Amino acid sequence: MTRPASESARSRAPTVAAGILSSRVAGLLREAVVTALLGLGVHADALQAAFKAPNFLQNLLGEGTISAAFIPVYSRLLEECRAEDAGRFAGAVFSLLVVLVSGLVVAGILLSRPLVSVMLFKWTQDAALVAAGELSVDRLALTIDLVRIAFPMTGMLVLSAWALGILNSHRRFFVPYFAPVLWNLAIISALLVTAQLVRGGLAVGDIGAFTEVLFAAFVGGFIGGILQFCVQLPLVFHVMKGFRLSLSTRVKGVKEAIAAFGPALAGRGISQLSAYVDMLLASFLAAGALSALRPALVLYLLPISLFGLSVAAAELPELARMDKGAVRPFLSRLRVSVRQSMFFTLPTAAGYLSVGFLIVGAWLRRGNFGLEDNYLVWAVLCAYSLGLVATTISRLLQNAFWALGDTRTPARIAAIRVSVSTVAAVPLMLWFDRWAVAEVVGLVPGSEPLKFGVVGLGLASTVAAWVELRYLSARLRRRVAGLTLPWRPILRMAGVALIAAGSGLALWRILPDWPVLLQAVATVGLFATVYLGCAKVLRFKELTVWAGRNPFRWGRRQADR
């Protein structure tokens, strides 16, 4: 049984996007502060590695796994008007999650040295390089100390994902997606305060000053993780009934969630393995590779979060509530969701490829982040942007599998993606690492010159993203007869995005030598004006969707136009 269309079919993606946008803007500010203080190099490499190392907890047990295993069961219990059972189910899941997370956090702290040494094997040579005067910092030792603070921080972020699952199921989207703003602000505050205290040391490149800034970031992150979890609790307990802590698996829904949890965990584990393989491979590249990867990925993931995950988060509870025999409404909802996410994802990819250099420069080029850094981050961003469309659509198709109760198929296909990405990455990164950024773009190289090797990782990820989309769409077509993706409207959007990109690129070429921020505002402003203007002239329905109107009244035929 489903709710009336007036209630259940109303698109909440703009609300989700507003919350995600707030947290992403805070994340952009955090990265701007980090790069201004550290630039790209050995200290920034250690920072990014230490954030990534314990991140498997958040990625394995966090939002993706909670969405796949918890939300469908909890949403169905609510739909069946069994709010008390839903509350008891949520309490049992929370209790089991606390026990699991606590054990993993303690293990991570105790085993931080072997874990980091395996993930960053190449860095085990840093001590000898420092002794020989070839490297300024032992990145391995520094990362191990930072990871011991990062594990408790990540544990709090996992518990925040449980609260997010509760609120999403009750169609409360803004607060859980806004909550990471507090995490980012805590890190920013800690960085700025510490930088003010040691600003003299940063100015002269003192190793101790940089190290203090690194530790401040992780202490701030731990405090921010507590804030991110706690700010959601009042609303969680307001909407939830019957909550009761319990470690029993006999509570209704728990066994079903555990059955779905295993494959979902495997899928997330495979995806996380891909991230760690990339980190391991990047550790073999020239210094600065890891720290260049991070800001490029922040920009790359921005449209996926805003326009892909926001749609997916709003739709998963609704798809889970639908009658699985109602194929036509299911397909219509999925097609409209794809169009809705593509409306802004396509121009974002085109913008990154055409004027992304200015976007990166306006965001990061200050302090220790210079022109050479700007070129490298843009090159990495371009490599990943070629797979942006495929990755976003794949997230929506995974969402459809989860709503159908199938968490195994996305996990298997994720394994294929990781294999393809790894096989393609090794030759590509080694070839690109032959080229120094400064030499290619005509700059004077620094003492530790940056190289393009990490671009190979981005290109390999793009190849794997399109392979994943191909397999997901083929497997979903077997499950749901009549599935077709709306390629015609996607191609129309792509054509308009290319026209907008051409106009922005042309303006950039004729602009005087203004500060990079003014150039970015002018070119991106023209780009957005041309794209949205053409979309209005061509009467793209998605304009009304992101204005908060109901997209699902279009019907099946309109969704394919």
Residue 498 is predicted with a pLDDT of 95
Residue 239 binned pLDDT confidence (cut-offs 50, 70, 90): confident
Among 116-125, 189-198, 323-332, 395-404, the least confident range: 323-332
Give the sign of the dihedral formed by CA 34, CA 35, CA 39, CA 45: positive
Query: Contact, 165 vs 97, CB < 8 A?
Result: no
Q: Are 361 and 374 in contact (CB under 8 A)?
A: yes
> pLDDT category, 554, cuts 50, 70, 90?
very low
pLDDT band at 427 (very low <50, low <70, confident <90, very high): very high
55 pLDDT more than 50: yes
Residue-wise DSSP of 246-293: ---TTSTTHHHHHHHHHHHHHHHHHHHHHHHHHHHHHTTS-TTHHHHH
pLDDT at 199: 75
Q: Are 433 and 452 in contact (CB under 8 A)?
A: yes
What does the pLDDT look like over 337-366, one tens digit per residue?
888 888 889 999 999 999 999 999 998 888
Phi and psi angles of residue 455, each rounded to the nearest 5 degrees, phi first = -60, -35
**Average pLDDT value for residue range 441-465:** 86
Tens digits of per-residue pLDDT, 81-128?
777 888 888 888 888 888 988 998 899 899 889 988 887 888 888 888
Cα(561)–Cα(559) distance, rounded to whole angstroms? Answer: 6
3-state SS assignment for residue 532: helix
Q: What is the dihedral of CA 238, 244, 245, 248, to 10 degrees?
A: -140
The one-letter code for the residue type at 214 is: L
Q: In 417-475, which ranges are E strands?
A: none
Position 59, amino acid: N
* pLDDT, tens digit, 9 for 90 and up, residues 510-540: 988 889 999 999 999 999 999 999 988 988 8
Question: Is residue 143 scored above 70 in pLDDT?
Answer: yes
